Amino acid sequence: MPNATNLIKRRGLMLVLSSPSGAGKSTIARLLLNDKEKLELALSISVTTRPRRPSEIDGVHYHFITIREFERLRDSDELIEWAEVHGNFYGTPRQAAENALADGQDMLFDIDWQGALQLQEKMKGDVVSIFILPPSMAALKQRLHRRAEDTEEVIETRLRNARNEIERWRSYDYVLVNDDLDRAYHQVQSIVTAERLRRDRSPGLFDFVNTLLDEQLD
Ligand code: ADP
Ligand code: 5GP
């Protein structure tokens, strides 16, 4: 339903979620994406050379590609950012993200700290970054096992890398602890709501305020 506030033209924002593997960022991302009526976020679907997990669908969770195809995309500048994470390559397709932002569509990026840094450098004014911490390392380990999607070896690598990832928390705009899922999810919702209202994100405000001031009262 159009109303005065959603007629004010706004550029889309890039909501970057990062966390050590298992802290719950995909779960929170899923909740945000399903909350279509309220938040209307689109997901940036990354390319990856990682093997598909049983629960994943090609083109929905990731575009699963070969290393050769990845190198082609990276070398032809079709990725806004890319990184090697836990021994596999991941990258964000440029075109989909740029189209969304220009259309005023907010987009969610589930990417690691290396990707977050690249986006913060290249798209500074567009990025809102959130880092999700687990309540404890023991909970992180438990969640990785409970997810039951990775081999023991993969879980060990991810746990080993978790400390290095957690140390990157300072480069994010917001940091939250995913202890209670519902609370963490509502915290992210609040961040999105507030960030959408930032003055510098709404060039359409100039016209709106001018129209307001020109309005003749009877
Ligand atoms: P990530 O995307 O960060 O690797 P996931 O979202 O896949 O992590 O979550 C890892 C596991 O932890 C999943 O099984 C998920 O259901 C569970 N999980 C997520 N958030 C919580 C929470 N607040 N409390 C308990 N378990 C959680
Ligand atoms: P997973 O293999 O669990 O899906 O993801 C492993 C890590 O790669 C996570 O930290 C996830 O956020 C990150 N990741 C997923 N897609 C991208 C991407 O396009 N770029 C970067 N830099 N990291 C990504």
Reported as a pLDDT band with limits 50, 70 and 90, residue 162 is: very high
Looking from the CA of residue 17, the nearest atom of ligand 2 is 12
What order of strands is seen across the sheet that includes strand 63-64?
A: 63-64, 47-48, 88-93, 79-85
Highest mean pLDDT among 72-86, 146-160, 201-215: 72-86
Reported as a pLDDT band with limits 50, 70 and 90, residue 11 is: confident
Q: Is residue 204 part of a domain?
A: no
Looking from the CA of residue 118, the nearest atom of ligand 2 is 22
Q: Is residue 208 part of a domain?
A: no
Name the residue at shortest CA distance from atom 13 of ligand 1.
147
How many Å apart are CA 205 and CA 200, to the nearest integer? 9
Q: Is residue 162 part of a domain?
A: yes
Q: Is residue 205 part of a domain?
A: no
- Residue 126: CATH number of its domain: 3.40.50.300
Cβ proximity of 176 and 184 under 8 Å:
yes
Q: Compute the distance from residue 8 Cα to the ligand 1 centre, in Å.
A: 36
Ligand 1 is surrounded, with C-beta below 6 A, by 19, 21-27, 143, 146-147, 178, 180-181
Structure-block tokens of residue 198: 């930032």
pLDDT tens digits, residue range 37-58? 678 899 999 999 999 989 899 9
Q: Which ligand is nearest to the CA of 110?
A: 2
Q: Is residue 41 part of a domain?
A: yes
Domain range enclosing 26: 13-197
Number of domains in the chain: 1
Q: What is the pTM of this model?
A: 0.92
Cβ proximity of 91 and 136 under 8 Å:
no
Q: Compute the distance from residue 110 Cα to the ligand 1 centre, in Å.
A: 14
